[in-house]
Amino acid sequence: MVVFRSRILASVLCPTEFARNAGHRVHGGLECWGAVDYRQFRFRIKEIAQQTLASVEHAEIISDAALRALALAGKVPPDALVVFVDDDDWLAPHLFSRLREFASVGAGVDGFRWGLVRLGRDRYNLDDADAGFALHPTVILRPIDEEGIYTNGYAVSGAALGRLGVDAVCEHLNAYTQYKAGRFAPDTVAQYLSCANKASGPQRGSACPARLRGVPPRPLSAQD
C-alpha cells in the first residue's frame, strides 16, 4: 500500500499563496524562477512521480485520509505493508516484492527501512548556481545505517500501524521518534529502493532556472 501524505498542491495555488503556505521552506521566494512557472514545473514533476508509482508491483495507492478511515474501521490487515510518500517521490517497481522476500510480516515484523537515493545537490547555494547543476544533477546515496528513517525509505506493517496509530508514523520525523524510542523496530534492507526528489522546490538544494546560464529548456520525462 502506497499512501500519499497530505500536502499543499503548488499547481493550484498562486505564487503568493504558495509562498505563504510553504513558509520557511522557501528561500528567496518564487521570483528567481523568472519565465518558468514554478507551479507548472512542479505539476510536471508530480506527473512523472505518478508514472513511477503506477509501475510499482502489488501496490494500492491511496491518500492518508483514506488510510485513516481504513485504520479506524480496523480494515488494515496486520500483514499489510504501508509506504508513505510525497507527490514527487519515486519508488522501485519491485519494492513490495523485494520486501516480502526478507521476512514474514505476519511473524511480528514492524516493517522495513532501506537505502534512499537523494536527487538534488545537498545544501546547494542558489547564489552559486550554474548550468552544471541542470546538466548533471547530484545523486546522493544516503548511508544505509542504524540511525536514519528517511522520507520515503521505510514501510510500516499493518500490525505496527494498528499499535502506534497513523499519526505516529505517517511523517518520517515522527516515525524516527518512534524508532529511537524503541516502539517501532523495522528490519533493515541493504538495498536502495526509493528516491527523494530534492530538485523540485524553490529552496536550497533546488535548481532555479533564472540562475542557470545557457541551459536551453527541454521537456521533462520519466527517463530524466
- Give the closest residue to 57 by CA, choosing from 91, 87, 34, 31: 91
- Residue 121: its pLDDT value, please? 64
45, pLDDT greater than 60? yes
Contacts of 126 (CB under 8 A, 6+ apart): 27, 28, 32, 204, 206, 208, 211
Whole-angstrom Cα distance, residue 172 to residue 83? Answer: 11
Domains in the chain, CATH or no CATH each: 2-211 (3.90.550)
Percentage of the chain modeled with pLDDT above 90: 40
Give the mean pLDDT of 142-160. 88
Looking at 2-145, list the stretches that DSSP marks H as alpha helix, in order from N- to C-terminal side: 15-22, 38-54, 64-72, 95-102, 131-135
Q: Using N-to-C axis directions, what is the helix angle for 15-22 and 38-54, rounded to 10°?
A: 70
Task: State pLDDT tens for residues 91-125.
Answer: 999 999 999 887 655 567 899 999 988 887 655 44
Rounded to the nearest angstrom, the gap between the alpha carbon of residue 172 and the centroid of all alpha carbons in its chain is 10
| DSSP letter, residue 212 | -
Contacts of 143 (CB under 8 A, 6+ apart): none
Q: What is the pLDDT of residues 166-221, one digit of tens each?
A: 999 999 999 999 999 999 999 999 999 999 887 655 544 444 444 333 333 333 33
* Residue among 142, 122, 88 nearest 206 (CA): 122
Above 70 in pLDDT, residue 24?
A: no
